Structure 1
Amino acid sequence: MSDLDKHPAGDTGHDAHLPAVAEEPIANPGLPAHTWRPTDIDEGLAKRAERQVSALFTLSAVFTVLFVVSYFVFDIGDNWETVGGLGASTVMLGVCLGLALMLIGVGIIQWARKLMADQEMVEMRHPARSSDEDRAATVAALNAGLEESDLAKRPLIRRSMLLAMGLLGAPVVILLRDLGPTPSSVASAAEGTGLKHTLWGTRDKIRVVRDVVGTPIRVSDLQIGDLVNAVPDGIFDLEGVDLQVAKAKSAVIVVKMAPEDVKSQQGEGWGIDGVLCYSKICSHVGCPISLYERTTHHVLCPCHQSTFDLADSAKVIFGPAGRPLPQLPLAVDEEGYLVAQSDFKEPVGPSFWDREK
């Protein structure tokens, strides 16, 4: 490295950490002398720059907190309009998170431009595989870079940067909340009752009604070989997303077979004169099933061909499904209609948890 740079007064000489160049293969091309920044010379200006960078990181932390607050304050369906017809939730979440990230970036750029080491250096090309000496020199240079970042000397920057970047984990946690319902242990008709429950558990003795039309099912009206797509009574009181979420987990199939054909059930007394009820949601990836073969009592999932034997506790006889379809315990009310004794005894849908014994 040629004598292009002259350290300002008081400089400790960071070049001491860099490997010396034994001989330059070409002559000095005549680069202009290095111009030192004001913050390299005046410690007062350096302190001012430090406060500026710290303020940017602190503002980033403030906007991250505002993102979390906005998530709970503004509803997705808020009618407050802005430019472009976007709702308050969309605007506030986007603006707050965008500014939080931008201020961290601007702070790092300002830190690098005004406070990190400012030197000119030359490094000659070397073979693809560096020598042990070069590798050791690289480690030394990295250590020197860490020292030159002045993190140890600038605790205000270090703490405010850690605050801003640490708080960025909060939006991630908040946004994960929107991936789906939590495994709630309390039934909720409006939310479809979480992962562990369905609408069948929201109240006692819910009637089993036909899907679409909503009429109750009388045991005496079923014939051997019938398969009826059914849902819990009251589900059509819900609307929009609430209806779709609830129906996606509460849908069932009711089958009627000869009582002597029933090999086993998932509970005592759950079948009524050959009438059985199972979840319509495949335990593989959650597709709706209803392709029924009445002579064998097998039901097929159209997505990946998982096959269940409804006469034998809906156990899997073919395909990738990991567990039987959950069975709904049935009873008959005083008017002769099918009702559910309780919710399913296990979660419906994909089998990513262990089945309770």
Structure 2
Amino acid sequence: MTAAAYRRLRLGPLSLRFHARRTALCTGLALLLLALALAALATGSGDAGLADALAFLTRPTDTAHSIVGDLRAPRIAMALACGAMLGLSGAALQTVTRNGLADPGLLGVREGASLAVIALMLCYPGAPLFLRPLAGMAGGLAVALAAMAIARSLSRMRFILVGIGLSWFLSAVIAMILVTADIDSVQAAMIWMAGSLSGTQPEMLPLAYACLALGGGLLVLTMRAAEASLLGETAAIGLGVHVLHLRMATIAASVLMTAAAVSCAGSLGFVGLLAPHLTRFLVGSGQAALIAGSATLGAGLVLVADTIGRTLFAPVQIPAGIVLSVLGVILLFVLLWQRRNQI
């Protein structure tokens, strides 16, 4: 990429160098996401429409807009947060492992978090909501550490294969628990596992966005080091990058955000795998563009899937995780076809 493609913005003593085309594309994707969020806010089985959605945005305390404010807005906000976290987690793992197949689901992090949350739900049904992300983080971190210990490397295919093996094993454990548990307790767990956002509660939003800010902020802080790591471990060390610290920070951010997304919305597949690839296809390479694009496209994927699930077959609601599985397969085949000569 030539230097002419970059621009420099000066604000007093501060100077920011950015890629003009990628910045414009990421801005366009962000505006499109806002438009989709507004459309989702105005769409549903209730009587509230676009006028009510706009009225809620300008007067959010007005009790006349309870359908939009109490039902749709928290669900849309959670879809955006969970999608962004999963997109960022996928981008971080693909960067640190230098493997395009890396994904929180393929590495077992999602299943580890799911197992911990399900155990909490079945053993302590009345547990406070804030304990779910804590349990999910503990489960996801345990699986990530186990995969690293067995594979002894983060940059080889062996790490992916170990993660896939752990993922299948934990899926079998989860299935065994659900089969043997009491049917009344299992029903709520099954709905949650399908990736349903229907049970979103407003008090869960601050925790979800706090995890998004913490994990995303950590990825932004390590962005330059991650860019250098793509040149290879030897080159990165020569450029002054502490590779081990970078990998641990990236894994920690990915586990934090994956656990938070799983704890709040259940299993949402394909987002962490597809969002980074869609970003590279639509926006281009570059770590800054990858982070911004993956967060935006991940949020958009979950938002669109949830909106389709709650409106297409209304009043019956299809969990977003099921819709994502269908959309994910279609998008994956489209990407594979577009890059058929590069594979």
Q: TM-score, structure 1 length as denominator?
A: 0.18
Higher strand share: 1
When Rg is computed on C-alpha atoms for both structures, the one with the higher figure is: 1
Greater helix share, 1 or 2? 2
TM-score by length of 2: 0.19
